[in-house]
Amino acid sequence: MSTVSNLEKKIDNLSAIIAIVGLGYVGLPLMLRYNEIGYKVIGFDIDNTKVTQLNNGESYIEHISSERIHSALQHNFKATTDFSYITECDVIILCVPTPLNKYREPDISFIVNTMEKIQPFLRKGQLLSLESTTYPGTTEEELLPRIEEKGFKVGKDIFLVYSPEREDPGNPNFETRTIPKVIGGCTEACLKIGQSIYGQAIDKVVPVSSMKAAEMTKLLENIHRAVNIGLVNEMKIVADKMDIDIFEVIQAAATKPFGFTPYYPGPGLGGHCIPIDPFYLTWKAREYGVNTRFIELSGEINRAMPEYVLNKLIDGLNKQGKALKDSRILLLGIAYKKNVDDMRESPAVELMEIIQQKGAIVSYSDPHVPKFPHMREHHFDLTSEDLTAESIDSFDALVLTTDHDKFDYPLIKIHAKLLIDTRGIYREPAKNIVKA
């Protein structure tokens, strides 16, 4: 039996063993999906704390219950930091971070380091899929040579695909199974095997002509959002100068049944994808002599929003005869979007830092983030403040950065001395509310 046929047979009869490398917001839901349909799944992560929690049946992501982790452990799942177990696996799916470095250039070190960890344990008959968002050409330039260094023929001995993740943490309308999956293969045989494994878990698989096309697809999806959010953030500034409520304008424009999609302004861009992905393309485009001015401009606008909010805060305090220095400031919500505990690239964290740098005393309240988590580039030794009439009144100003449903907005409005609203929650004018 050929290598292709043997792997297809294992996939079809659910005997294939699946490796999920990187057990975060992308890898953990994918692990659960494959586990729940009957595959044995081995989860790999370099974070020993995560591995220990999972093997104890504990979840560290709010919208994934510990009950689901415990159930997975009863049905052929285990987590490990030992990459030698890669040899046992038939399918290897990489879900590792792809951040920016301090120069806002792509940092693919997690992909490269992960490949170097698994390379010694690659064998014939495996499928390797990269899901991390990255610039077009990464899979071909970084993964393919490391496979070939082992003497394997891609498309014959080992199969290589790129299939970008499409997770939206906390969105009740979609789950891993129902979000269509784009996939590109290194060869036709690679694409066929890739469609086979993803077709088991995902309702709709969308093949494209190449791995580069799949990589570009993911960037287009997120650049589309980044550019439109940049547009509406700029419109917010113009509308504010004209004393126009931008949220009213968006709401009215959204009644048009064609040709308009509503996007909403905020204190900046958050999440692992939208603030980062445009820079992956602009960086790669320079290699081809292309200057992506439109994309870079939207990035500049979005990155400037925390400073815009800071100036609104300073102006609001000045009108009350107070300086920002030594003022007690409470940020409402530090997750990057409402109703989740996801802190990746949250603009609220940047805002906390610049407010603190100006000499203010910073605190936060977030019902989804009880303690400020360990982050690669940011650290605050803080826990979430309980919101009571007395605690709200004790702060010189509150800044609403993430509009969680769990907040008691009437209570906040009544007792806040000054409230900077970056999310358009308070539409009616009030003396203590500043729209930002």
One domain, residues 308 and 292:
no
One domain, residues 192 and 172:
yes
273 is catalytic: yes
What CATH number did the domain enclosing 151 receive?
A: 3.40.50.720
Residue among 108, 87, 86, 88 nearest 99 (CA): 108
- pLDDT band, residue 243 (cuts 50/70/90): very high
Question: Does residue 217 register a pLDDT over 90?
Answer: yes
Count Cβ atoms below 10 Å from residue 318 Cβ, excluding itself: 11
Residue pair 335/342 in contact by the 8 Å Cβ criterion: yes
Question: Does residue 184 register a pLDDT over 70?
Answer: yes
- Per the structure, the count of domains in the chain is 3
- pLDDT band, residue 377 (cuts 50/70/90): confident
Domain boundary among 300, 325, 353: 300
pLDDT at 1: 63
At a CB cut-off of 8 Å and minimum separation 6, what does 430 contact? Answer: 413
Secondary structure in 3-state letters for 284-311:
HHHHCCCCCHHHHHHHHHHHCHHHHHHH
At a CB cut-off of 8 Å and minimum separation 6, what does 357 contact? Answer: none
Domain boundary among 177, 209, 241: 209
pTM value is 0.92
One domain, residues 50 and 165:
yes
Catalytic residue among 89, 95, 186, 273: 273
pLDDT at 262: 96
One domain, residues 198 and 225:
no
One domain, residues 140 and 222:
no
One domain, residues 149 and 78:
yes
Burial of 198 (0-12, 13-18, 19+ CB in 10 A): buried
pLDDT at 103: 78
One domain, residues 279 and 227:
yes
One domain, residues 24 and 137:
yes
Question: Does residue 144 register a pLDDT over 90?
Answer: yes
Supply the mean pLDDT for the chain: 95
One domain, residues 272 and 356:
no
Domain boundary among 232, 267, 300: 300
What CATH number did the domain enclosing 280 receive?
A: 1.10.1040.10
Mean pLDDT for 10-34 is 96
One domain, residues 8 and 114:
yes
pLDDT at 286: 92
One domain, residues 261 and 389:
no
pLDDT at 402: 97
Rounded CA-CA distance 225/231 in Å is 10
128: left (phi over 0), alpha (psi -120 to 50) or beta: beta
One domain, residues 192 and 288:
no
- pLDDT band, residue 104 (cuts 50/70/90): confident
Of the chain, the percentage scoring pLDDT greater than 70 comes to 100
Name the residue type at position 131. E
Interhelix angle 3-12/188-201, rounded to 10 degrees, is 10
Structural domain including 346 reads 304-435
